[in-house]
Amino acid sequence: MLWETIIGMEIHAELETKSKIFCSCPTEFGAPPNHHTCPICLGLPGTLPVMNQEVITLAIKAGLALNCEINLYSKMDRKNYFYPDLPKAYQISQYDLPICKDGWIEIDVEGEKKEIRINRIHIEEDAGKLIHLEDEPNSLIDYNRVGVPLIEIVSEADLRSPKEAVAYVKALKAILEYAGISDCRMEQGSLRCDANISVRNHGQKELNSKVEIKNMNSFKELLKAMEKEEKRQLELYQFGEGHKVIQETRRWDSGKGRTIPMRSKEDAHDYRYFPEPDLKPIILQEAMVKEIGDTLPELPHEKTIRFKGDYGLTDKELEILVGDKALATFYEATVAKAGEPKAVANWVLGDLLRLLKEKEIDSYAIPVEPETLGSLIQLVDEGRISGKIAKEVFEEMFYTGKKPLEIIEEKGLKQISGEAELEAIIDKVLASNPQSVEDFRDGKKQALGYLMGQVMKETGGQANPKTAKELLEGKLSS
């Protein structure tokens, strides 16, 4: 039997504002507990919300970037439920009139393009953070995050595999980053995804019970969680226990590598939404929306087209580079300095990405300046250092932030270009490798490579490869 997986995503993205949605507390991440709080975001009695205008602007931007229709009349509603991370016992959100609706984005899974529809984008406030202590009868609350502005982007259930789900979130993340809507740092929780997943027989019209999965904090986790849940449901259906797939919320436990039902959601939830009486409706003018649209910067798909045309990069290179705004920005700045788009791509996608991964550094915190990498590439280009040495220099640059020339100087990595000096070394190499010399003269041209290697070895890699090769060839053919 053929099975089909149906996935819809709900993405919460923190908006890149300086202050919270309804009060002036900073939104900055990493402050001491409860430091970014005030009577308003703590929901103290008598306080009132006042909407941050930047929230409206960013939400509209998101809508436009995701091809949505902007509702010129929308409103805020209260979603009522008791939970200690919610100091007012209601979340100010949008219910039946969200600010944006009916959008779409294009995703690309292994070369296959697909359009994913977006049902709606609404504005809401974030909740606080609960910390559960092991073996202690208490939990701790940090309200720094409460009232940080969010947009919730709800997709249609158009995704058909865990891979598509990942591609969708990646595409969305790139767009939000490019448009300056959210910094999308998944590890800090500024981009969070929940997924609704169900499986059904191929050709079956109606949907089976869907399960909501929460707490997937990276693309890797998202993929794993989706695959695990897909498998769990499939197995239940295949073993005639389909009734055990119930509509519920499950938490992804990355440590245990499985999804676990969430107990707090046992209560039938009745959120008793009603229009927020403390805020007036959001009434927008067409002209204002257009003005905001005009400020949208180049978006990923536009960048892909431009990079392809200007720099001649491959699809794979483009996917990685454009998919990461910080990396793309770094790439372009480096090309501006050094030219050589291909060489820069090799550096950025090669050594740089490898080191970032090894050291678990995010691309927005690249410790190398585009100018320094540019000048390193120029040094290689001018033949002043070899590619091999350049790699060594780059690592040093990465760790210390020093300039390439500085490193070369310090480590004595300067290239030996002096002919006399090189000639002496070459003579020595030829003398100690008579067999190779003979091979070469017998027509085995690959012996040249071996001899070049020996020269480089002898010079500790510092020989100017071009000069050395010319000299070597000269000597062999004489």
Q: How far is the CB of 290 from other proteins (least distance, A)?
A: 18
Query: Residue 145 interacts with other proteins (CB under 8 A)?
Result: no
In sequence order, which residues have a C-beta less than 8 Å from that of residue 56 and are 6 or more positions away? 99, 123, 282, 284
41 forms part of the interface with Zn ion (CB under 5 A) = yes
Q: Which is nearer to other proteins, 134 or 442 (CB)?
A: 134
Q: How far is the CB of 127 from Mg ion (least distance, A)?
A: 9
Q: Which of 4, 44, 354, 359 binds other proteins (CB under 8 A)?
A: 44
User: Which range touches other proteins (CB under 8 A), out of 75-83, 293-301, 430-438, 441-449?
Assistant: 75-83
How far is Cα 171 from Cα 169, in angstroms, rounded to an integer?
A: 5
Q: Is 148 in the site for Zn ion (CB under 5 A)?
A: no
- By CB under 8 A, the count of residues binding other proteins is 67
Q: Does 267 bind other proteins (CB under 8 A)?
A: yes
Position 45 contacts other proteins (CB under 8 A) = yes
Please say which residue, 152 or 396, places its beta carbon nearer to Mg ion: 152
Burial of 326 (0-12, 13-18, 19+ CB in 10 A): middle
CB of 10 to Mg ion, least distance (A): 7
Question: How far apart are CB 193 and other proteins at their closest, in Å?
Answer: 18
CA dihedral over 362, 365, 367, 371, signed as positive or negative: positive
Using CB distances below 5 to 8 A depending on partner kind, what does residue 283 bind out of other proteins, Mg ion, Zn ion, none?
other proteins
> Residue 85 or 392: which CB sits closer to Mg ion?
85
Bridge partner residues of 74 (DSSP)? 282
Is residue 340 close enough to count as binding Mg ion by CB under 5 A? no
| Interstrand relation of 248-253 and 211-216 (parallel, antiparallel or unpaired) | parallel
Query: Is residue 119 within 8 Å of residue 86, measured between CB atoms?
Result: no
Does the footprint of Zn ion cover residue 51 (CB under 5 A)? no
Q: How near is the Cβ of 83 to other proteins at its closest, in Å?
A: 8
**Burial of residue 151, with CB atoms counted within 10 A of its CB: 0-12 exposed, 13-18 middle, 19 or more buried:** buried
Q: Report the distance separating Cα 213 and Cα 253, nearest Å.
A: 10
Cα 124 to Cα 20, 37, 120, 299, distances in angstroms: 11, 18, 13, 25
Q: Which of residues 222-261 bind other proteins (CB under 8 A)?
A: 251
> Residue 150 Cβ, how far from Mg ion at the closest point, in Å?
7
**Distance between CA atoms of 257 and 465, rounded to whole angstroms?**
51
The binder of other proteins chosen from 3, 6, 12, 26 (CB under 8 A): 26
The window from 117-125, 219-227, 274-282, 378-386 that contacts other proteins (CB under 8 A) reads 274-282
Residues 6+ apart with CB under 8 A from 314: none
Q: Are 29 and 188 in contact (CB under 8 A)?
A: yes
Phi-psi region of 43 (alpha: psi -120 to 50; beta: other; left: phi over 0): left
- Residue 152 binds: one of Mg ion, other proteins, Zn ion, none (C-beta under 5 to 8 A by kind): Mg ion
Longest dimension (CA), the chain: 96
How many Å separate Cα 98 from the centre of its chain?
Answer: 27
Binders in 141-170 for Mg ion, by CB under 5 A: 152
The smaller minimum CB distance to Mg ion, of residues 152 and 212, is found at: 152
Instruction: Write the burial class of residue 139 (CB in 10 Å: 0-12 exposed, 13-18 middle, 19+ buried).
Output: exposed
Is the Cβ–Cβ distance between 7 and 159 less than 8 Å?
yes
CB 388 to other proteins: min, Å:
50
Angle at 160 between CA 154 and CA 164, to 5 degrees: 75
Q: Hey, how many other C-beta atoms are within 10 angstroms of the C-beta on 308?
A: 15
Cα(351)–Cα(368) distance, rounded to whole angstroms? 12
CB of 48 to other proteins, least distance (A): 5
Stretch that binds Zn ion, among 26-34, 37-45, 212-220, 362-370 (CB under 5 A): 37-45
Establish if 38 lies at the interface with Zn ion (CB under 5 A): yes
Residue 289 binds to other proteins (criterion: CB under 8 A): no
Binder to other proteins among 62, 68, 71, 87 (CB under 8 A)?
A: 87
Binding site for Mg ion (CB under 5 A): 152
Binding site for other proteins (CB under 8 A): 17-19, 24-26, 32-39, 42-56, 73, 75, 78, 80, 82, 84, 87-90, 130-132, 136-143, 251, 262-264, 267, 270, 272-275, 277-283
